[in-house]
């Protein structure tokens, strides 16, 4: 239910006509949630523009995968190309929106999402290019880690993917936006109180006047 809450809110960031990159992990699930009447092109850094929903069992093609090595489908009109072409697309500013997972986000919009020191990592993937090249960066993640510690930090403690790159952060508790003025709470998830968000957020943030604070 926590994951579903985050994903449903993240889908609202996608607008008709966008070219969107979905990061590995939870963001890839969004491919199955985009409204059918939206003309959205999903891009994968391994060389596919026009990703469709996850395949049914009889549709699985082991050679058709996304950047997370998951089998996918291709929409009518999809394009296939090498990874160099794909990264040129990203670095050239042609991706309207990237939705990425996160390990930590700081109050000034820094993102850490590619490694934990001392743990095996296959590679940094395309995240460092995406946070610099995509026009808008949305991060989705749990608000606290498995030890109950806030992942929304004053300063990231893990190696950074990018500095001041996050535009919007969505967790199971709240939605924040990042501007030159800092980090602002713009939405509370259903059933969540402001006090709970404050108690589980290490970062300093302002509160949008549009939020209705329940007594």
pLDDT for the residue 22: 96
Q: Has 45 been annotated as catalytic?
A: yes
Task: Flag whether pLDDT at 144 surpasses 60.
Answer: yes
49 in Cβ contact with 78 (< 8 Å): yes
3-state secondary structure the chain: CHHHHHHHHHHCCCCCCCEEEECCCHHHHHHHCCCCCCCCEEEECCCEEEECCCCCHHHCCCCCECCCCCECCEEEEEEECCHHHHHHHHHCCCCCEEEEECCEEECCCCEECCCCCCCCCCCCCCHHHHHHHCCCEEEECCCECCCCCECEECCCCCCCCECCCCCEEECCCEEEEEECCEEEEEEECCCCCHHHHHHCCCCCCEECCCCCCCC
Mind listing the pLDDT tens digit for each residue in 25-57?
899 999 999 998 999 999 999 999 999 999 999
65 in Cβ contact with 71 (< 8 Å): yes
87 in Cβ contact with 77 (< 8 Å): no
Residue 170 CB contacts under 8 Å (≥ 6 apart), including other chains: 6, 9, 10, 13, 138, 139, 140
Q: Which two tokens stand for residue 92?
A: 């050239």
Task: Flag whether pLDDT at 213 surpasses 70.
Answer: no
Q: Predicted confidence band at 117 (pLDDT cuts at 50, 70, 90)?
A: confident
98 in Cβ contact with 138 (< 8 Å): yes
Task: Flag whether pLDDT at 215 surpasses 80.
Answer: no
Q: Which of 13, 45, 104, 172 is catalytic?
A: 45
> In angstroms, rounded to a whole number, what is the distance separating the alpha carbons of residues 35 and 57?
22
pLDDT for the residue 116: 85
pTM as predicted = 0.95
pLDDT for the residue 45: 92
Averaged pLDDT of the chain: 94
Residues of the chain above pLDDT 90, percent: 86
pLDDT for the residue 214: 57
User: What are the chain's domains?
Assistant: 2-207 (3.40.1080.10)
Q: Which residue has the higher pLDDT, 35 or 95?
A: 95
């Amino acid at each position: 239910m926590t994951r579903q809450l985050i994903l449903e809110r993240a889908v609202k960031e996608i607008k008709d006509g966008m070219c969107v990159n979905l990061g590995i992990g939870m963001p890839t699930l969004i491919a199955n949630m985009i409204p059918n009447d939206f003309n959205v092109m999903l891009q994968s850094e391994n060389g596919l523009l026009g990703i469709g929903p996850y395949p049914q069992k009889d549709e699985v093609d082991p050679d058709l995968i996304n950047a997370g090595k998951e089998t996918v489908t291709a929409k009518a009109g999809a394009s296939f190309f090498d990874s160099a072409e794909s990264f040129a697309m990203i670095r050239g500013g042609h991706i309207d929106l990237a939705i990425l997972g996160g390990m930590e986000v700081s109050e000034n919009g820094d993102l850490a999402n590619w490694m934990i020191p001392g743990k095996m990592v296959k590679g940094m993937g395309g995240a460092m290019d995406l946070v610099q090249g995509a026009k808008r960066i949305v991060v989705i993640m749990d608000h606290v880690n498995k030890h109950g510690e806030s992942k929304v930090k004053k300063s990231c403690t893990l190696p950074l993917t990018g500095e001041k790159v996050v535009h919007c952060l969505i967790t199971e508790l709240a939605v924040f936006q990042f501007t030159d003025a800092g980090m602002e709470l713009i939405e509370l998830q259903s059933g969540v109180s402001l006090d709970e968000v404050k108690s589980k957020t290490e970062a300093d943030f302002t509160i949008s006047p549009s939020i209705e604070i329940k007594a």
